């Protein structure tokens, strides 16, 4: 069920070693690195202060840019960003993003060689401190990294993905020739001593695949929540999404309010691009992640998150696969809690349970 994270107005001491772990283990932050922290009024100031102070203590050159409160995560692709924030991003080696998410200027930063680490997938928020303590500090990131790399490789080798559920899902994706993504969120490989990722959205991990336009057929029964418009809605009863060739063609369910509101919102999106998808498919692996408004909902172990709408910015920032992408003013997500996932017939998740990784 949806959980409300603990929030306080004061700094939790555990947050200091959490940020230290992020900078050292995930970012490999080095002296002299130009760090830009982008934030807005959603995120408590003491959270920003810790990210700034820890970077300073490690010898980085740090600046903070507070943006005007932006739109909801679903509306990120179409938002007009402050030109002063855009200008500052051109100078940064590492952007700590707690306000933006998907944006053209962030994609441009990645393409010129900068790296982005997002502690909240671009939205920050009052919940970020508690969520990161639980899902980063109190999590074995190395074990999670190795499991994510393994499953990313399994996705790469597969030709067909089939997802079913006891609730009624039966959905198929043809994925031959597509590269799986580990989504372990490490910006560098500390064993090989080299940069391996451009963009990291914490917490780890959610291996999966970025999909081309018009991929996917069948029925998905959504029994987790749905992020759309400016809402995180948990359905009173499951919703049934029917897909034909990568387009959402029908929404049904007994939660008439949610069905009606979601349908009305999709009807208002230009060229009906909000119904195109899924554009990504990810399997959560973090046993400490919960369902709440922090993007940790995408990392809940055994749950699947599927994204809809824009994939053009995501592909530039994240996967860079040579695929046809979707350009839309929105990007929204939904969660399936108890999926059974087969890759070429081999089960990697059984009714929401991912086997313990032994590698």
User: Does residue 166 share a domain with residue 100?
Assistant: no
Q: For the domain that residue 79 is a member of, what is the CATH number?
A: 3.40.50.2300
Average pLDDT over residues 223-246: 94
Residue found under tokens 């990131």? 141
Residue found under tokens 């919960």? 290
Kindly indicate the confidence band of residue 231, based on its pLDDT and cuts at 50, 70 and 90. Answer: confident
- Per-residue model confidence (pLDDT) at position 301: 98
User: Does residue 146 share a domain with residue 131?
Assistant: no
165-185 residue pLDDT tens: 999 999 999 999 999 999 999
- Per-residue model confidence (pLDDT) at position 126: 84
Instruction: Say what the pTM is.
Output: 0.94
- Per-residue model confidence (pLDDT) at position 6: 56
129 domain residue, yes or no: yes
Q: Is 7 left (phi over 0), alpha (psi -120 to 50) or beta?
A: beta
297-352 residue pLDDT tens: 999 999 999 999 999 988 888 877 789 999 999 999 999 999 999 999 999 999 99
User: Does residue 182 share a domain with residue 103?
Assistant: no
Residues 6+ apart with CB under 8 A from 301: 284, 285, 286, 287, 289, 354
Query: Does the structure show a pLDDT above 90 at 3?
Result: no
8 domain residue, yes or no: no
Query: Does the structure show a pLDDT above 60 at 83?
Result: yes
The whole-angstrom separation of Cα 156 and Cα 34 is 35
Query: Does the structure show a pLDDT above 90 at 21?
Result: yes
User: Does residue 116 share a domain with residue 59?
Assistant: yes
Which of 120, 137, 154 finishes a domain? 137
- Per-residue model confidence (pLDDT) at position 191: 77
Query: Does the structure show a pLDDT above 70 at 4?
Result: no
User: For a pLDDT cut of 90, what percent of the chain falls above it?
Assistant: 81
DSSP character string of 252-321: EES-HHHHHHHHHHHHTSGGGGGGB---EEEE--BTT--SSSSGGGGGBTT-EEEEEE--HHHIIIII--
Residue 202 domain boundaries: 141-349
User: Does residue 178 share a domain with residue 70?
Assistant: no
Which of 84, 112, 137 finishes a domain? 137
245-297 residue pLDDT tens: 999 999 999 999 999 999 999 999 999 999 999 999 999 999 999 988 778 99
Kindly indicate the confidence band of residue 190, based on its pLDDT and cuts at 50, 70 and 90. Answer: confident
Total number of domains constituting the chain:
2
Beta bridge partners of 129: none
Query: Does the structure show a pLDDT above 60 at 5?
Result: no
User: For a pLDDT cut of 70, what percent of the chain falls above it?
Assistant: 97
Query: Does the structure show a pLDDT above 80 at 71?
Result: no
The whole-angstrom separation of Cα 48 and Cα 51 is 5
User: Does residue 154 share a domain with residue 34?
Assistant: no
Please check whether residue 3 is in contact with residue 290, taking contact to mean a CB–CB distance below 8 angstroms.
yes
- Per-residue model confidence (pLDDT) at position 180: 95
198-208 residue pLDDT tens: 999 999 999 99
Please check whether residue 159 is in contact with residue 175, taking contact to mean a CB–CB distance below 8 angstroms.
yes
User: Does residue 148 share a domain with residue 254?
Assistant: yes
- Per-residue model confidence (pLDDT) at position 245: 98
Please check whether residue 40 is in contact with residue 121, taking contact to mean a CB–CB distance below 8 angstroms.
no
């Amino acid at each position: 069920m949806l959980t409300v994270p603990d929030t306080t107005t004061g700094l939790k001491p555990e947050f200091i070693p959490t940020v230290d772990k992020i900078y050292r283990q995930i970012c490999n932050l080095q002296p002299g690195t130009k760090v830009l922290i982008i934030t807005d009024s959603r995120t408590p100031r003491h959270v920003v202060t810790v990210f700034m102070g820890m970077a300073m203590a490690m010898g980085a050159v740090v600046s903070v840019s507070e943006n005007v409160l932006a739109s909801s995560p679903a509306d990120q692709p179409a938002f007009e960003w402050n030109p002063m924030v855009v200008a500052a991003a051109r100078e940064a080696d590492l952007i700590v993003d707690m306000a933006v998410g998907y944006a053209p200027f962030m994609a441009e930063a990645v393409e010129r060689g900068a790296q982005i680490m997002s502690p909240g997938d671009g939205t920050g928020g009052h919940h970020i401190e508690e969520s990161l303590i639980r899902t980063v500090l109190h999590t074995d990131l190395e074990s999670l990294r190795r499991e994510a790399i393994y499953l990313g490789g399994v996705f790469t080798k597969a030709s067909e993905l089939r997802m079913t559920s006891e609730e009624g899902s039966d959905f198929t994706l043809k994925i031959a020739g597509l590269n799986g993504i580990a989504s372990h969120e490490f910006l560098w490989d500390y064993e090989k001593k080299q940069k391996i990722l451009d963009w990291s959205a914490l917490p780890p991990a959610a291996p999966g695949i970025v999909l081309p336009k018009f991929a996917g057929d069948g029925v998905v029964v959504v029994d987790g929540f749905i992020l759309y418009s400016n809402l995180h809605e948990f359905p009173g009863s499951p919703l049934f999404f029917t897909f034909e060739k990568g387009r959402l063609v029908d929404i049904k369910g007994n939660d008439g309010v949610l069905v009606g509101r979601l349908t009305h919102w999709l009807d208002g999106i230009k060229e009906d691009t909000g119904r195109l998808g899924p554009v990504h498919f990810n399997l959560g692996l973090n046993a400490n992640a919960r369902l709440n408004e922090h993007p940790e909902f995408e990392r809940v172990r055994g749950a699947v998150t599927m994204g809809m709408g824009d994939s053009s910015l995501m592909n530039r920032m994240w996967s860079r696969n040579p695929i046809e992408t979707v350009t839309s003013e929105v990007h929204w997500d939904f969660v399936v809690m108890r999926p059974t996932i087969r890759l070429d017939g081999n089960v990697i998740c059984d009714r929401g349970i991912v086997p313990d990784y032994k590698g």
